[in-house]
A = this chain, B = another copy of it.
Amino acid sequence: MPTPFRFSLEKTDSQSRARAGLFSTPHGDIRTPVFAPVGTQGTVKTLSPDELTDLGAYLILANTYHLYLRPGADVVQRLGGLHRFMAWPGPILTDSGGFQVFSLSGLRKISNDGVTFRSHIDGSEHFFSPEKSVQVQEALGADIIMAFDECPDPMDYDYNVVALRRTHGWAARCQKAQTRSDQALFGIVQGGIFPELREESARFLSALDLSGYAIGGLSVGEPKAKTIEMLDLTVPLLPPDKPRYLMGVGSPEDLFSGVERGIDIFDCALPTRLARNGALFTSHGRINLRNAVFAGAEGPIEEGCTCYTCQRFSMAYLHHLYKAEEILGLRLNTLHNVHFLLELMRNIRSSILQGTFAHLKAEFVSRYIPVQDDAQRRENLSQRRDRKEPAAKPGPQRRERSSSSPLDD
């Protein structure tokens, strides 16, 4: 039976590693480079599937850990799989649950077999192994599934040595455990900020001949220079004919940085999470609706933006919805931010095809003022803390609407 997955490169940039490709899946083609909005619990927060289609999303991500706990992979399977459950007809990627499980520190037992952890919802005990992760992901039925990996502190060498060995063994076990041929299994390169470990990981996983390769354990608190060093080192060691996925990365400047280093797939909860906090992307940088200067602003978030929000609503209205804590505000902000990133990726892709990527990047960089490296790092670190928090106090269902904890999104 021919595999339903084919990754064809349409164009490779002459001045960088940037490339434009097409990844075929059972639920449609993914034009790369692509940004995948995050739909942790089977919904990209605040958006309907039709809105995602209108936004031109090619791929969305859902979280295995969350869906396994609630509503349960068996429920999703009985209801026809995740595509039908959430009424999203396009490609879906599920992570392995590793990242979440390993963020529940203090409440896990790790062995070569797998990991015992407690639910952040009700404190109940669960066990994930590579086989279990694949089994759950097969029940969910995404188009792209991820190998179960261990996610150590990227700066801790000794831990990374041990964890890497385990991650590699687990990747091979995931490959063996797969029973469905209509799901592309991606391996995840780990190794923290240590060149020799990253190299070892890229070589080991490449030898497994998986359907694609992710780079994990980056943008989780390490210095940005290290992120870039690891990318520069790792990507050339991966098979050029397989898609490459940089996990959890999604600020506009990081998309450029990843694309020019040869990354094809990105995912990040940043645009949706920022939106719910009133932070909006513009071509000049982020702005925040909280700012009283917007209370009377007649114009849209950005002149010329073609998103639904900018075409209909003033900043003053969005400011009002934010202050009045209206759900429509969360929706309109999310629509804008997701549109911004998807449109940016469409422009990036066109520029690669037209040979003008370097020009586009220069133009973008000249206008866009990123959040300070330090501030960004503080943000990431505080997200890591949030991520660990639920484990410290497991208990009855947390009731936080539109929370900004990464465990929720």
In the complex, the chain B residue whose C-beta lies closest to that of A44 is: B328
A213 CA to B128 CA, complexed, in Å: 65
Say yes or no: is A219 at the interface (Cβ < 8 Å to chain B). no
Chain B contacts for A296, CB-based, 8 A:
75, 78-79
Which listed segment binds B: A17-25, A138-146, A380-388, A394-402?
A394-402
Q: What's the least CB distance linking A76 to chain B, in Å?
A: 9
Contact with B along A59-85 (1 / 0, CB 8 A): 000000010001100010011000001
A15 CA to B342 CA, complexed, in Å: 59
A313→B87 contact, CB < 8 A: yes
Asked, given contacts A298-B79, A316-B75, whether A327 binds B85 with beta carbons under 8 Å apart, the answer is no
B325→A400 contact, CB < 8 A: yes
In the complex, the chain B residue whose C-beta lies closest to that of A312 is: B87
Asked, given contacts A314-B85, A317-B85, whether A324 binds B70 with beta carbons under 8 Å apart, the answer is yes
A78 CA to B296 CA, complexed, in Å: 8
Contact with B along A29-72 (1 / 0, CB 8 A): 00000000000011101111110000000000000001000110
Chain B contacts for A49, CB-based, 8 A:
312
A46 CA to B334 CA, complexed, in Å: 13
Say yes or no: is A156 at the interface (Cβ < 8 Å to chain B). no
Q: What's the least CB distance linking A319 to chain B, in Å?
A: 8
Chain B contacts for A332, CB-based, 8 A:
48
Q: What's the least CB distance linking A323 to chain B, in Å?
A: 6
A326→B41 contact, CB < 8 A: yes
Chain B contacts for A326, CB-based, 8 A:
41, 43, 45
Chain B contacts for A66, CB-based, 8 A:
324
Say yes or no: is A165 at the interface (Cβ < 8 Å to chain B). no
Say yes or no: is A132 at the interface (Cβ < 8 Å to chain B). no
Asked, given contacts A46-B327, A87-B312, whether A317 binds B79 with beta carbons under 8 Å apart, the answer is yes
Which residues from chain A sit less than 8 Å from chain B, CB to CB?
41-43, 45-50, 66, 70-71, 75, 78-79, 85-87, 295-296, 298, 308, 312-314, 316-317, 319-321, 323-332, 397, 399-402
